[in-house]
């Protein structure tokens, strides 16, 4: 699963490309990269051509230009597909990749056959509010610079990346991502090395806070209403021990998508089904795309 690279104009994206058959495009989440899909790729590559991309500022992709929105990352993914000559694909998105995937579905519907969101981000965004005595106030940040100083959700993670403190980052993953199972030492080492390559944490947090495809307002502003432009079938996993994307966020997407949505419930599972139930996840992906 060695990475390749391809130019999409102002950026160069790294990616994994292996297997054969219909294309399954994989979009990773925050603090991760294409490599975090390696267990899923191993289980799918005999049936599909698996193409997993490092988004801008993640993994081994370039970060020549900052971004403000998940839509910009979806635009990158569209250019990536065009550069590879892929007219359409089945799409998998994990966590933040679920938000990027929803925007890809809405803006470029001809590119997505079906979309499988693994603990995917809420189409109404992921709130990051000002704090008083470390308690959220419900007030939005006015700028990226202000958000970067957030004492709980952003600032400490900025410091971890700035100092290369992978030990503290590993502890953070144990508390928030690996709430059920734990990766093997080899997996943990490989995935953490990819996590620590991220350079865009403030951009990404700002984009998530401002993300809103609904037709209603959040504290960060009015939505663009584009969730209605998602036309393809969408699978949404919801795990009972996920503390990052809880059930209500997944069900918010299911309600907005209506009869296009299929909800898949995982028990005794946290934010990473790739660790907690990898075989079932792969079978569910195959069944949905079939």
Has residue 8 been placed in a domain?
A: yes
Average pLDDT over residues 7-11: 97
Has residue 139 been placed in a domain?
A: no
pLDDT over 90 (residue 145): yes
- At residue 170 the predicted structure's pLDDT band, cuts being 50, 70 and 90, is very high
Q: What pLDDT is attached to residue 121?
A: 98
- At residue 281 the predicted structure's pLDDT band, cuts being 50, 70 and 90, is very high
Has residue 185 been placed in a domain?
A: yes
Has residue 145 been placed in a domain?
A: no
pLDDT in tens, 236-250: 999 999 999 999 999
Percent of the chain with pLDDT over 90: 99
- Phi/psi of residue 139, nearest 5 degrees: -95, 135
How many domains does one find in the chain? 1
Has residue 134 been placed in a domain?
A: no
The enclosing domain of 88 has a CATH number of: 3.40.50.1820
HEC per residue, the chain: CCCEEEECCCCEEEEEEEECCCEEEEECCCCCCHHHHHHHHHHHCCCCEEEEECCCCCCCCCCCCCCCCHHHHHHHHHHHHHHHCCCCEEEEEECHHHHHHHHHHHHCHHHEEEEEEECCCCCCCCCCEEEECCEEEEEECCCHHHHHCCCCCCHHHHHHHHHCCHHHHHHHHHHHCCCCCCCCHHHHHHHHHHHCCCCCHHHHHHHHHHCCCCCCEECCEECCCHHHHCCCCEEEEEECCCCCCCHHHHHHHHHHHHHHEEEEEECCCCCCHHHHCHHHHHHHHHHHHC
pLDDT in tens, 68-85: 999 999 999 999 999 999
Cα–Cα dist 267/234, whole Å: 20
Has residue 45 been placed in a domain?
A: yes
pLDDT in tens, 46-75: 999 999 999 999 999 999 999 999 999 999
Domain that holds residue 97: 4-123+165-289
Has residue 155 been placed in a domain?
A: no
pLDDT over 90 (residue 193): yes
Has residue 256 been placed in a domain?
A: yes
pLDDT over 90 (residue 1): no
pLDDT in tens, 117-140: 999 999 999 999 999 999 999 999
Residues 6 or more apart from 69 whose CB is under 8 A from it?
207, 210, 211
């Amino acid at each position: 699963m060695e990475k390749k690279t391809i130019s999409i104009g102002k950026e160069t994206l790294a990616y994994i490309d292996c297997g054969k058959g219909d294309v399954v495009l994989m979009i990773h989440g925050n603090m991760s990269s294409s490599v975090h899909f390696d267990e899923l790729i191993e289980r799918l590559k005999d049936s599909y051509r698996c193409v997993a991309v490092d988004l801008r500022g993640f993994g081994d992709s370039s970060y020549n230009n900052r971004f403000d929105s998940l839509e910009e990352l979806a635009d990158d993914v569209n250019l990536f597909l065009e550069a590879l000559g892929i007219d359409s694909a089945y799409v998998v998105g994990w966590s933040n990749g679920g938000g990027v995937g929803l925007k890809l579905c809405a803006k470029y519907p001809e590119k997505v056959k079906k979309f499988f969101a693994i603990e995917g981000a809420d189409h109404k965004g992921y709130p990051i509010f000002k704090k008083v005595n470390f308690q959220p106030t419900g007030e939005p940040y006015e700028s990226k610079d202000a958000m970067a100083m957030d004492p709980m959700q952003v600032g400490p993670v900025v410091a971890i990346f700035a100092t290369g403190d992978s030990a503290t980052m590993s502890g953070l993953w144990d508390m928030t991502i690996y709430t059920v199972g734990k990766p093997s030492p080899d997996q943990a080492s490989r995935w953490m090395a990819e996590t620590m390559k991220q350079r865009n944490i403030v951009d990404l947090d700002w984009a998530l806070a401002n993300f809103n495809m609904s037709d209603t307002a959040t504290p960060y502003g009015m939505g663009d209403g584009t969730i209605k432009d998602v036309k393809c079938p969408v699978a949404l996993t919801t795990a009972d021990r996920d503390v990052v994307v809880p059930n209500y966020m997944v069900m918010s997407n299911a309600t907005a998508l209506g009869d296009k949505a299929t909800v898949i419930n995982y028990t005794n599972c946290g934010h990473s089904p790739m660790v907690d139930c990898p075989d079932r996840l792969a079978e569910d992906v195959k069944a949905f795309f079939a």
